[in-house]
Amino acid sequence: MAPAVNTERISSFVLPDRIVVGLGHMGAGMAASLVRAGHRVLGVDPGPVPTPAGVVRTTLPEALAEAQAPVLVLSLPGTEQVDQLLPDLEQAPAPVLVIDASTCPPADTRRRAERLAGHGHVLVDAPVSGGPSGAADGALTVFLGCSEEHLERVLDALDPLAAHVNHVGEVGAGNTAKLMNNLLCGVHLSAAQALHGAAEASGVEVERLLAAVNTASGRSGVTEVNLPRWVLSGSFDSGFPVGLMARDVGLAAEMTEELGVSSPLVEAARAMWDGLLEQIGATADFNKMVTTR
């Protein structure tokens, strides 16, 4: 059942200027960071998720009608969910800046940006890295696809959310960078499965083997961060599930195929993540790749 809309609280707000669509782990953290930065935030989510403190829950049409010079942040599962919003956005009473933090195929992002531009709106792609903790702390890394014309306004809107904003290029470039980042992370985790297995099979302490690698050329973000923090600790609580990583590796593989730059390694990574998804399910922590054989 969709949550009730509290229109009385909405009307008591003074000039709400931020709308967050998608109040899951990432969206809720971003909404909380915007509230902490002094913004009036309206939240939209049809699911039974909690409403962050300081956020007024409503529907998208109501939020678009209430917000002043609205900036809309999307934190949604994927391209299908973003497409479902387009009819409401097209009918918004005032121009909207849409910052899409969802991970989507770059071609879909460019298509949506062109469609919304015909109605006077601006859409940029700003997929993120940093997990729920980064969202809650306002310390995300953003991969931004945005024209120079709108860059200053977009950077100002992202300031409460991000520790690092990488302006990669025009619209669509942000998702290209995010998919390449997650493909590399997926490959590194797949390779780290062999490191972990070799330690067990050879009798070498995995902590010592990892420490040695991290002083040399084989190190990566996975060996320096993921393994110590979420694998060797046994916590497996990064907040990023197998289902999303398998999706992202798959999207990256499709993109490289379309561009004519795929490789056997990319296909092997896709097969390993699809296999892990089938073996342990979509909700398990993605770092389980290292220990699952």
Q: How many CB atoms lie within 10 A of CB 155?
A: 15
The per-residue pLDDT for 2 is 43
The per-residue pLDDT for 68 is 81
Of the candidates 194, 154, 185, 177, the one whose C-alpha atom is nearest the C-alpha of residue 293 is 194
CA separation, residue 1 to residues 4, 47, 130 (Å): 9, 7, 31
Dihedral, CA of residue 58, residue 64, residue 67 and residue 68, to nearest 10: 180
Are the C-beta atoms of residues 69 and 45 closer than 8 Å to each other? no
The per-residue pLDDT for 16 is 75
111, 178, 188, 288: the active-site residue: 178
> Which pair of tokens denotes residue 5?
């809309």
The per-residue pLDDT for 9 is 43
Q: How far apart are CA 38 and CA 13, in angstroms?
A: 13
Are the C-beta atoms of residues 166 and 143 closer than 8 Å to each other? yes
Q: How far apart are CA 287 and CA 284, in angstroms?
A: 8
The per-residue pLDDT for 13 is 40
Dihedral, CA of residue 197, residue 202, residue 203 and residue 204, to nearest 10: -80
Are the C-beta atoms of residues 239 and 253 closer than 8 Å to each other? no
Cα-to-chain-centroid distance, residue 193: 24
Tokens 């059942």, located at residue: 1
Domains and CATH numbers, the chain: 7-170 (3.40.50.720), 176-290 (1.10.1040.10)
The per-residue pLDDT for 92 is 94
What is the DSSP secondary structure assignment for residue 156, as one 8-state letter? H
The per-residue pLDDT for 15 is 58
Cα-to-chain-centroid distance, residue 59: 22
Q: How far apart are CA 216 and CA 77, in angstroms?
A: 37
CB within 8 A of 26, min separation 6: which ones? 75, 101, 128, 131, 132, 135
pTM for the complete prediction? 0.90
- Interaxial angle between packed helices 242-259 and 173-202, expressed in degrees from 0 to 180 and rounded to the nearest 10: 120
The per-residue pLDDT for 70 is 87
Q: How far apart are CA 110 and CA 170, in angstroms?
A: 9
Which residue stretches of the chain have pLDDT < 70?
1-15
178 labelled catalytic: yes
Of the candidates 195, 196, 198, 179, the one whose C-alpha atom is nearest the C-alpha of residue 270 is 179
Of the candidates 103, 127, 125, 102, the one whose C-alpha atom is nearest the C-alpha of residue 113 is 125
Q: How far apart are CA 18 and CA 35, in angstroms?
A: 9
State which H helix or E strand residue 114 sits in: helix 106-117
The per-residue pLDDT for 271 is 98
Phi, psi of 154 (to 5 degrees): -65, -45
pLDDT by residue (tens digit) across 91-134?
Answer: 999 999 999 999 999 999 999 999 999 999 999 999 999 999 99
